[in-house]
Structure 1
Amino acid sequence: MARRAAGGDDDLLRSVAAGDAGALALLYERHAGAVFGYLLRLAGDRMVAEEILQDTMLAVWRSAGAFEGRAKVTTWLFGVARRQAHNRLRLRAAPLPAAADLLDRADQGAGPEELAIAAAGGTPVAAAIDLLPDHHREVIALVFVAGLPLADVAEVLAIPVGTVKSRLHHARAAVAAQLTAQEVSE
């Protein structure tokens, strides 16, 4: 496949909408790592996350023409991935995986946030994160694993930015309280 000069994500998505498979490949190359990390956090299983990623890219191929440009392309991609994951995982009703499950992601070219979370696997921090409610863990996955800004997290989850901040605050407070309780009991 001949590579052309890469444009912005908006240009790539317009090309995808026009049927350009090469543009879809470039969009995949740019965003698959972060989307996969998020999906792995939701699914807890590498193969399921890979399948959902493929479902996501197929949905992007089919619905690129519906992108209205009101959000960033990355935000839209995470929204598509989230819907695909929830459609697939609804049948399983599986909880979000433990932070320790991210340890095997280190060989996937993980970013600094992912490496920090993966390094925390099996630690008291990971155990405290595992105790969080799903809606708090999902915010942590989008902020620290996927690296999305709070405004983008709000858009992906279809909640106000204030709610994202609140969930992140409560998640951090719960982790800190759990760590303090562990220190006292030792």
Structure 2
Amino acid sequence: MSFFDTYGERLIDAIQIHLFYVLSSVLIGFFIALILGILLSRIPRYAKIIMPLLSIFQTIPGIVFVGVLFLYLGMVPATVIIALAVYAIFPVLKNTYTGLMDVKPEYIEAAKGCGMSQIQTLLEVELPLATPSIITGLRMSTIYTVSWSVLAAMIGLGGLGEFIYIGIASNNNAMILVGAIPSAIMAIVLSLLIDVLRRFAIPKGLRSLK
């Protein structure tokens, strides 16, 4: 109790900051990835070249990327959010592209036969059918981002990583757990919420088609 009397308020602030980084970066990354995934599904010949190039960003260590942005942007939340959003893009992008490419051609032809335009076919047939794959990418991206957000503490921008790094530096296991356990709980809770979203994201009439 004395530990939480001392660090309780600081922990609550760290959780809020950590959650802010996760939600804002995943939201930005999701919309960018969704748009790119749709565009690449229209040019699959070039997507085979572009996708591996975009995946290169995933191979850059997070601490390096955050450090480079820190040199240009300084110690501001945008530094962390931009870095995390870039990392959040690829899981959603890959699954969006895969989901759209897996939509059976006969469904697209049936939509055209009903007089739907390309935009209507995309919005009313392709995206709903690709939703399970897209949501899976969103869940992966969110879970990864919860762990990547720990890097914010390395440039003095708070979050739960602050407790972890202090604990490592001072060989204090309790401090490490105070940062690690809420991070794990946050990842689990957000994953469960995304699973709930997945259940309601697909129109009933399209659930049995794919």
TM-score, normalised to structure 2's length? Answer: 0.28
User: Taking CA–CA contacts closer than 8 Å with sequence separation of 6 or more, which of the two structures ends up with the larger relative contact order?
Assistant: 2
Higher helix residue share: 2
The TM-score, its normalising length taken from structure 1, stands at 0.31
Structure number, greater radius of gyration: 2
